[in-house]
């Protein structure tokens, strides 16, 4: 899964009406959240509204707090923390590669 559109298509039955779902297009974030959602979708009544970045930080909005008041809040917080960590690592990696004149996929940024 490479795009948020693909993610939202896979989990379209779990997006609450009127919301747009996943809005982060980082493949490593999508892979991580996909693994988590494989388990979360087993919870009866599970829905999510949005997964996005706001002011540079990940925000996860689900109905888990309604379904499981204490555990749901912790799960949402853990998801946000892990997504923020992944985004930070990706950002650092991209900057280090740029300092070597390499793109994220390892190809040269300089035209020959």
Q: Distance between CA 71 and CA 6 in Å, rounded?
A: 28
Contact 41/12 with Cβ under 8 angstroms? no
Q: What global pTM score does this model have? A: 0.86
pLDDT of residue 112: 59
Return the higher-pLDDT residue of 110 and 4: 4
Q: Distance between CA 66 and CA 33 in Å, rounded?
A: 20
- Assigned token pair, 13: 């039955």
The stretch 47-56 carries a mean pLDDT of: 96
If DSSP codes are grouped into helix, strand and coil, which group holds residue 15?
Answer: strand
If DSSP codes are grouped into helix, strand and coil, which group holds residue 8?
Answer: helix
Q: How do residues 90-109 score in pLDDT, each as one tens digit?
A: 999 888 888 888 887 778 87
Q: How do residues 53-91 score in pLDDT, each as one tens digit?
A: 999 999 999 999 999 989 999 999 999 999 999 999 999
Following DSSP, what letter does each residue of 20-68 receive, concatenated? -EE----HHHHHHHHHHHHHHTTSTT--EEEEEEETTEEEEEESHHHHS
pLDDT of residue 104: 76
How far CA 19 is from CA of 16, 30, 43, 51, 104, in Å, comes to 6, 18, 20, 10, 31
pLDDT of residue 105: 75
Q: How do residues 2-43 score in pLDDT, each as one tens digit?
A: 899 999 999 999 999 999 999 999 999 999 999 999 999 999
**DSSP 8-state secondary structure symbol assigned to residue 16:** P
């Amino acid at each position: 899964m490479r795009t948020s559109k693909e993610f939202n298509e896979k989990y379209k039955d779990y997006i609450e009406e009127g919301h747009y779902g996943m809005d982060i297009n980082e493949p490593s974030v999508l892979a991580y959240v996909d693994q988590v959602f494989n388990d979360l979708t087993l919870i009866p009544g599970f829905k999510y509204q949005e997964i996005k970045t706001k002011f540079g930080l990940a925000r996860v909005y689900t109905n888990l707090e309604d379904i499981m008041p204490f555990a749901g809040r912790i799960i949402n917080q853990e998801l946000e923390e892990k997504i923020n960590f992944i985004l930070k690592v990706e950002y650092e990696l991209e900057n280090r590669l740029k300092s070597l004149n390499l793109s994220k996929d390892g190809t040269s940024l300089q035209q020959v």
